Amino acid sequence: MKEGTLMRVLFCKIHCPFICFCKSSAAHLYTSGPLKLENSPHVVPSTAFALPSASDKSSTGIKEDGLNGNQEAENVLKSCIRKIPYRSEADKEVGKKRVQWMDNLGKELAEMKEFESSLKQQKSASACLLMAAVLIVPIFMILVLLLNLTIKIRRELTKKSSNLPPGSYGWPILGETMEFLGAGLEGTPEKFIKERSEKYKSQVFKTSLMGEPMVVLCGAAGNKFLFSNENKLVTVWWPSSVRQLLGHCLATSSGDEGKQMRKMVSYFVSPDAFTRLYIRTMDLVSQQHIKTHWQGKEEVKISPTTKLYTFELACRLFMSLEDQEQISKLATLFNVFLKGIISVPVNFPGTRFYKAKRATSAIKNQLQKIVRQRRAALEQRTAIPSQDLLSHLLVAPDENGKFMSEPVIVNNILMLLFAGHDTSSVAITMLMKNLAQLPDIYEKVLREQNEIASSKEAGEFLQWEDIQKMRYSWNVVCEVARISPPIIGAFREALVDISYAGYHIPKGWKLYWSSSFTHRDASWDPDYANFDPSRFEGAGPAPFSYVPFGGGPRMCLGKEFARLEILIFLHNVIRRYRWKLQIPDEKIAYDPMPTPVEGLPVQLHSHIA
């Protein structure tokens, strides 16, 4: 619309109210007295503006329905003007011009209405853009700040030491975390380290994992350095997801506190406890498990089935829990918990960490109820202090006379249930897979187990001495753990500035050692790809070159516990069944432990009545 047109319309609204096209204006004109038209010497009688009759509506263009108020008023006014009695042809010409002027004004008003409508649309679009800007700009600013912070940190780290190990920090914030986790999901966790070690031609390199600057120490030499300097140069460290989910417990503690916790737990994973508390129960539970979940079936999925066995065993041994419904509920929650234990700690609905955190909360609520019930039972003397690990944690003080708080007991039970069943079930699953693929190895293990069984009375449970006779079987288990370690590596934190292999590692930096890379390091074992249990005979592998249970002061406390539950299960299952893989080339994903993506289904063939 032109500027002049807008001014004329505004002028019209002030000086010519009867021309504003609305019903109220028309009604006013119908009832008003004599009116002198603008720029006209004539006074028009009010009767000239009488409403059109029904017979006139067709001539004026007015309809009963279908026209809006503005159009109706305009037509009425035009009709009235046409009915004005003119004294001369000149007056009649003036009347025509007035009608024409009104037509032009109507068009201009229509343009103005369209203009106003476009303004409203522009305002609406502007509001949407403003809202988008309000949401996007802060996010963009946060990303910019994080990027700048990352750059500044890296510059500061570079200033502090120009002799850092070779390597790359990867992407801002994410670092090389996705590549690290992706290698595991592909089934080759050692690939991440191998590629970078070869690229930088170094057994030590820097990277960025889990939001932290990190140095990876490769092979046996790196393992020796870290294990030998525990609590001196380095201490335990876990990613934020692990620390948040496990809470304050043995696995996340270090220094004197960590030592105190290890002492309180150590008896329940000692040979004396195995002989007195565990072996008979393990043998009984494994036989019951096979009878319930294997007997009479043609096909079994090994991974979920063995996980149920090891979890039930841990529940019974650590806290005397035998309620199958409660065990099943906890087992389901632990499966969700495990998926998020090594993950990006974003607590947002739908993420693995969010689901794991909710599962952890539910697990801790259940364990808290169990702890309180046991405390009440101990007070009422319906339970005994030596009954199991839970009772021991409730009644035994540390060297300073302090008792564990309830939250810390809950956290430690959660940690032990996790460590005491998941790694063992993974080891059993991978053992079953390899025995199915290696019939010669299967026959040798079966022969050894039958010899042990033949030396016992019918129905007699295994003893500690029987476990010690399973030498070849244990060598096979060790070889399986070498090829597919349940734990692919662990983290440490530098307590001081460290010098290693000619490079500087700043205080506060994180370090990582890898069992999966160590076990496939050709520089230590050129024959690493072959399955060979004999490598564990005699002195066994070179020191620090076989580390499925870690090493140093923080070597896994449950190593012997795992040995017992694996060998006892193997003894009972191999004497009853042969099995054939249903998916011979099934993919194994490390998520974070080696897991057959289809659960390792096998076809069972019973060979004893």
Provide the CATH number for the domain around residue 317: 1.10.630.10
pLDDT for position 129? 66
H/E stretch holding 378: helix 352-379
Number of domains in the chain: 2
370 half-sphere exposure, CB direction, 13 A CA radius? 25
Asked if 446 and 576 sit in the same domain, the reply is: yes
Considering the domain boundaries, does residue 310 fall inside one?
Answer: yes
Considering the domain boundaries, does residue 443 fall inside one?
Answer: yes
Asked if 108 and 227 sit in the same domain, the reply is: no
Nearest to 431 by CA among 479, 489, 487: 479
Q: Which of 88, 119, 150 is the last residue of a domain?
A: 119
Considering the domain boundaries, does residue 187 fall inside one?
Answer: no
Asked if 273 and 394 sit in the same domain, the reply is: yes
Q: How far apart are CA 505 and CA 563, in angstroms?
A: 37
Q: In this structure, what DSSP letter does residue 456 have? A: S
Q: Which of 58, 89, 119 is the last residue of a domain?
A: 119
- Residue 599 CB coordination number (10 Å): 18
Ligand-binding annotation for 478, yes or no, is no
pLDDT for position 376? 95
pLDDT for position 155? 55
Contacts of 414 (CB under 8 A, 6+ apart): 246, 247, 249, 360, 363, 364, 367
Q: Which of 86, 119, 152 is the last residue of a domain?
A: 119
Considering the domain boundaries, does residue 200 fall inside one?
Answer: no
- The model carries a pTM of 0.74
Residue 592: is the preceding peptide bond cis (ω within 30°)? Answer: yes
Helix (H/G/I), strand (E/B), else coil: 163: coil
pLDDT for position 16? 43
Contacts of 474 (CB under 8 A, 6+ apart): 536, 563, 567
Beta bridge partners of 209: 212
Asked if 425 and 552 sit in the same domain, the reply is: yes
Asked if 102 and 223 sit in the same domain, the reply is: no
Q: Within the chain, which residues score under 50 in pLDDT?
A: 1-67, 159, 609
Asked if 462 and 348 sit in the same domain, the reply is: yes
Q: How far is CA 350 from the centre of its chain?
A: 8
Considering the domain boundaries, does residue 429 fall inside one?
Answer: yes
Tokens representing residue 598 in the block: 């289809």
Q: How far apart are CA 73 and CA 415, in angstroms?
A: 84
Residue span of the structural domain in which 74 resides: 3-119
Asked if 96 and 234 sit in the same domain, the reply is: no
Helix (H/G/I), strand (E/B), else coil: 84: coil
Considering the domain boundaries, does residue 132 fall inside one?
Answer: no
pLDDT for position 180? 94
578 phi and psi, to 5 degrees? -110, 160
* Cα-based angle 369, 374, 378 (whole degrees, multiple of 5): 150
pLDDT for position 411? 92
Considering the domain boundaries, does residue 133 fall inside one?
Answer: no
pLDDT for position 40? 44
pLDDT in tens, 45-97: 444 444 444 444 444 444 444 445 555 655 655 566 555 565 666 666 766 76
H/E stretch holding 603: strand 601-606
pLDDT in tens, 339-353: 898 888 888 899 999
